[in-house]
Chain A
């Protein structure tokens, strides 16, 4: 989705345009937002790996006597229509959401990198064919493509992972292909033959590292997207089935009690949003550092 318009190239010799100093620098040293995002992500990983540390209770334990209780000291985020503790469920849901997101992103990024490199490094015919294929798959809205997959394979966590992975793969592949072409045509690669490097060594030493370098950034931002799509699909009932404490599914369940107990619905939603925001903040920060290095 990053679109660059080919810059208007100037004449061959253009000495220093003598511009006034750094008019666009908008950098601040102290970044509370970045810190908060990092802290949240650490918490999220803890919740996913050892949920009991943050919420020792059982996410499935119903309490018929304490249904739809508002947030209190006993139940930080209240209870749902079955009397289950919302906080415990949100914490235990992190594992589900993160697993789906990470697995889907792994599929998308791995496939994207391999296909993108294949398109960018091999013959023009292969590039043309693959690029058209990426275009074709990108023509389907991601959510609908995932729904198509689920219609074929049936709902469930594994379907969800594969569906999101496949649907977001072309985007990664295109970015990697674009980056590969950019690096391949860069002066430092073109001129490296003058050092007597053979083509395979040139690719290994200069092309691959500079193509792969930005991939983790891509993955972090992609992870946020995957988690959001996953939440949407589970909300529609296509993911992990109740009573599993997945965030999107919790939202869907709580919808019927919106008027009496907003917390059942809103708080898992806030968890999704916070996760995506945190991933985006960290990813963007990383990206600007990368861009700075590339330029």
Chain B
């Protein structure tokens, strides 16, 4: 009995590694299938001199057999070497490392805010207790999920910053500058999570064990928080990796709207400048984050649901 949770955890870790490997491979393939010469692709819009071309060929082992190129790439990746940006004339790790903090701050702030908002909305509107509030909340969620984040950002910006001057228009100085971008990013997530959570709560509230709990004289709030919410959180937990993907993707747009530095700016500059090493690195990094978050979510799942620990 004791070893099986460990085995289940090990299996999930292994599955995560496989996905990570496949994702890295997919990114690498994207580079190879790009039309034109691979050296041209890697050089992008950067300075194109015979010396740099030679450097690229050496770094990516382009003069060696395809298998060796690929294994070399994987080895470098495993060692944390993400290559060199020829546009910026710097190692990619440095470029990304500098810009990681603001994006991570933004993403975490948005994640925290989104989850909090979703839980509050879902718990307040689950069941049939307040039909009016429930309908209003469902409508708001649909609207939030369907509105492009840049529009949310622009509306917040024009009302709260331009009209009332409550928050700075752009930049990353201080907590004040974080509020609007974090809210912008958090709202769609909150809308989506709230729908999933309320669905889960509704389903749990229809279960016989909730009836049993009520028949013990337990308060409705306790029924919701102690019994139903746990069941509702399970499906939400599996969405964690995917939500992080939305956060990273959304961060690109939100950083653009609010003129914040971060990975988003780096990515956009790299895409427009065809700076492939940077693009590849960002994409691979986001896949790694996805896999990590998902693996943690899976392990949490094992922790919360004793039924899964068996097999």
| A positions within 8 Å CB-CB of B | 1, 3-5, 8, 17, 23-24, 26, 132-133, 135-145, 147-153, 224, 228, 231-232, 235-238, 248, 251, 255, 258-259, 262, 265-266, 269-270, 272-273, 276-277, 280-281
Evaluate contact between B19 and A136: CB separation under 8 angstroms.
yes
Does B22 touch A at the CB level, under 8 Å?
yes
Contact A3 to B146, CB < 8 A, known contacts A140-B290, A152-B31: no
**Residues 275 to 311 of chain B near chain A (Cβ within 8 Å):** 275-276, 279-280, 282-283, 286-287, 290-291, 294, 305, 307
One of B128, B146, B249 near A276 (C-beta < 8 A): B146
Residues in chain B near residue A148, CB distance under 8 A: 27, 30, 279-280, 283
Residues of B close to A137: CB separation below 8 A: 23, 26
Q: Which residues of B contact A153 (CB under 8 A)?
A: 34-35
Residues of A within 8 A of B253 (CB): 143, 232, 235-236
Q: How long is the Cα–Cα vector from A153 to B19 in the complex, in angstroms? A: 25
Quick one: which of A3, A24, A141 contacts B249, CB cutoff 8 A?
A: A141
Chain A residues closer than 8 Å to B229, beta-carbon distance: none
Q: Could you say which of A152, A238, A258, A280 has the most chain B C-beta atoms within 10 Å of its C-beta?
A: A152
Complexed CA–CA distance, A269 and B143 (Å): 12
> Across the interface, do B31 and A272 meet the contact criterion of CB distance under 8 Å?
no
- Say whether B155 faces chain A, with CB atoms less than 8 Å apart: yes
| Chain B count of residues within 8 A CB distance of the other chain | 67
**B26–A251 touching, CB < 8 Å:** no
Give the most central of A135, A137, A142, A151: most B CB within 10 Å: A151
Extra 8 A-B pairs, beta carbons < 8 Å, given A1-B239, A236-B268, A258-B158: A5-B234, A135-B19, A139-B23, A150-B271, A251-B151, A265-B154, A272-B148, A280-B146
Q: How far is the CB of B276 from chain A (nearest CB, A)?
A: 6
* Complex alpha-carbon distance, A34 and B240, angstroms: 31
- Please give the residue numbers on chain B whose beta carbons come within 8 Å of chain A beta carbons, in ascending order: 18-20, 22-23, 25-27, 30-31, 33-35, 41, 128, 142-143, 145-151, 154-155, 157-158, 162, 202, 206, 208, 234-235, 238-239, 241-242, 244-246, 248-250, 252-253, 256-257, 267-268, 270-272, 274-276, 279-280, 282-283, 286-287, 290-291, 294, 305, 307
CB-defined contacts of B154 to chain A, threshold 8 Å = 251, 255, 258, 265-266, 269
Q: Is the interface of A mostly helix, strand, loop or mixed?
A: helix
Question: What distance in Å separates the Cβ of B43 from its nearest Cβ neighbour in chain A?
Answer: 13
A152, B248: Cβ atoms under 8 Å? no
Q: Which 5 A-B pairs have the closest CB atoms?
A: A143-B249, A136-B22, A141-B245, A269-B151, A276-B146
Does the CB pair A273–B283 fall under 8 Å?
no
Distance in Å from the Cβ of A75 to the closest Cβ of chain B?
20
CB < 8 Å: which of A24, A142, A272 contacts B151? A272
Q: Are A281 and B245 CB-contacts (below 8 A) given A144-B286, A236-B256?
A: no
Do B147 and A273 touch (CB < 8 A)?
yes
Q: Are A235 and B146 in contact (CB under 8 A)?
A: no
Q: Say yes or no: A144 contacts B158, CB within 8 Å.
A: no
B residues in contact with A17, CB < 8 Å: 208
Taking the closest CB of chain B, its distance from the CB of A11, in whole angstroms, is 14
> A141 to B245, alpha carbons, bound, how many Å?
4
A135 to B238, CA, bound (A): 13
Given A1-B242, A24-B202, A152-B31, answer yes or no on A140-B146 (Cβ-Cβ < 8 Å). no
Contacts of A248 in B (CB 8 A): 148
Nearest opposing residue in chain B for A277, CB measure: B146
Closest to A275 in B: B146
12 A-B residue pairs with CB within 8 Å: A3-B235, A136-B22, A137-B26, A141-B245, A147-B252, A147-B271, A151-B270, A224-B146, A235-B256, A258-B157, A258-B162, A272-B151
Q: Which residues of A contact B27 (CB under 8 A)?
A: 140, 148
A259 to B158 CA separation, bound complex (whole angstroms): 7
Residue of chain B at shortest CB distance from A150: B271
Which of B157, B272, B280 counts the most chain A CB atoms within 10 A? B272
| Closest chain A residue, CB of each to CB of B18 | A132
On whether the beta carbons of B41 and A139 are closer than 8 Å, the reply is: no
- Contacts A273-B146, A273-B148, A280-B142 given: A132-B22 contact, CB under 8 Å? yes
Inter-chain contacts of B235 with A (CB < 8 A): 3-5
B233 shortest CB reach to chain A, Å: 11
The distance in angstroms between the C-alpha atoms of A281 and B276, with both chains bound, is: 40
Chain B proximity of A216: nearest CB distance (Å): 20
A161 to B283, CA, bound (A): 19
Docked CA distance A205–B189 (Å): 41
